[in-house]
């Protein structure tokens, strides 16, 4: 099943609008999550965001998002969104000693928008089913700027009924692509899609370094290639950022490394080598070791430059 209905033009499906949830809990209010929650609140959705640090409450209230430091305030939610860094964080919030799952009402849905492993996604699905709750995977492609502009691509997978109930949420964030009933499929697509970006960044970084060492303008090269054979958003956006040395707007190196490790584990499970991703893994480790961990994965270009003595 592939349902690519909403092109991110702000239009709404009347059937979906009739399924708007009563209350949306939100856990994971980083740069991405904050922008997503703010857009939902701006649409009039009843959003309650959980934060660990009280000082974050004021920041979210400035975005018209209600915030709380108590997970119990999310227990009456119709949908709880997680936008967290990894498997362990999602597991702790939902199935830890003070987790949400045991107190969430039957029929409520966990909408997992985090980049996690397929094994964890399947684990969470079965755990929610045992409790009479729904589970939908909805990882996203995009950065914080795309989140603010409602230009995320949301890969949605779960039961048809649960996906329908989540569409007023996902359609408000960008383009929804429903790919099937198995949530793990969405997580696999997200991980492998991230590997396409990671390997593109590595190659771009290497090429820009060669051009600079040969005394040529890398911007000219990127303009030529993105105007002809490689006119994708990844090559255009990241190519320009890499040349400008703009390394602070997206996925930090440790999180990129986490995604690489998950993707390589999926490849090992499939018996399908991914040697190019192995190179990216080593480059990310090098970047972190050199103190570039806080930078985003465009800094693969910085690592390439340093390796060449620039």
Q: Would you name the residues annotated as active-site residues? A: 190
Q: Are 46 and 24 within 8 A, CB to CB?
A: yes
Within the chain, where are the H helices?
A: 14-17, 31-42, 56-61, 87-95, 118-130, 144-148, 160-170, 183-213, 218-226, 233-244, 253-270, 275-289, 300-307
Nearest in space to 170 (alpha carbons), one of 31, 1, 13: 13
Q: In Å, how far are 81, 105, 126, 192 from 132, measured between CA atoms? A: 17, 8, 10, 31
Nearest in space to 200 (alpha carbons), one of 222, 175, 178, 220: 222
The dihedrals phi and psi of 116, each to the nearest 5 degrees, come to -130, 175
DSSP H or E stretch at residue 66: strand 66-68
Q: Strands 47-50 and 24-27: what pairing?
A: parallel
- Which residues share a beta bridge with 112? 82, 137
Q: How far is Cα 266 from Cα 62, in angstroms, rounded to an integer? A: 41
Q: In Å, how far are 66, 147, 166 from 34, measured between CA atoms? A: 11, 9, 18
């Amino acid at each position: 099943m592939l349902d690519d209905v909403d092109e991110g033009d702000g239009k709404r499906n009347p059937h979906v609008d009739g399924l708007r949830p009563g209350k949306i809990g939100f856990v994971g209010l980083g740069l991405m999550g904050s922008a997503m929650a703010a857009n939902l609140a701006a649409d009039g959705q009843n959003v309650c965001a959980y934060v660990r640090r009280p000082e974050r409450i004021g920041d979210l209230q400035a975005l018209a998002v209600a915030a709380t430091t108590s997970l119990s305030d999310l227990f009456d939610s119709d949908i709880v969104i997680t936008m967290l860094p990894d498997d362990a964080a999602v597991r702790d919030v939902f199935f830890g000693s003070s987790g949400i799952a045991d107190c969430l009402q039957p029929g409520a849905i966990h909408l997992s928008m985090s980049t996690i492993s397929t094994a964890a996604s399947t684990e969470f699905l079965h755990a929610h089913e045992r409790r009479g709750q729904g589970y939908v995977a909805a990882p996203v492609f995009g950065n914080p700027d795309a989140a603010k502009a409602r230009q995320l691509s949301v890969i949605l997978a779960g039961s048809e009924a649960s996906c329908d109930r989540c569409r007023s949420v996902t359609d408000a964030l960008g383009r929804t692509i429903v790919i099937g009933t198995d949530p793990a499929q969405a997580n696999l697509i997200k991980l492998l899609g991230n590997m396409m970006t990671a390997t593109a960044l590595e190659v771009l970084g290497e090429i820009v370094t060669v051009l600079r060492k040969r005394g040529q303008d890398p911007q000219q090269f990127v303009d030529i290639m993105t105007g002809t054979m490689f006119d994708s958003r990844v090559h255009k956006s990241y190519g320009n950022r890499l040349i400008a040395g703009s390394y602070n707007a997206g996925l930090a190196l440790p999180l990129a490394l986490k995604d690489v490790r998950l993707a390589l584990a999926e490849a090992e499970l499939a018996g399908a080598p991914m040697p190019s991703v192995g190179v990216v893994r080593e480059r990310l480790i090098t970047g972190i070791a050199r103190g570039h961990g806080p930078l985003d994965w465009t800094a693969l270009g910085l690592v390439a430059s340093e390796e060449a003595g620039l």
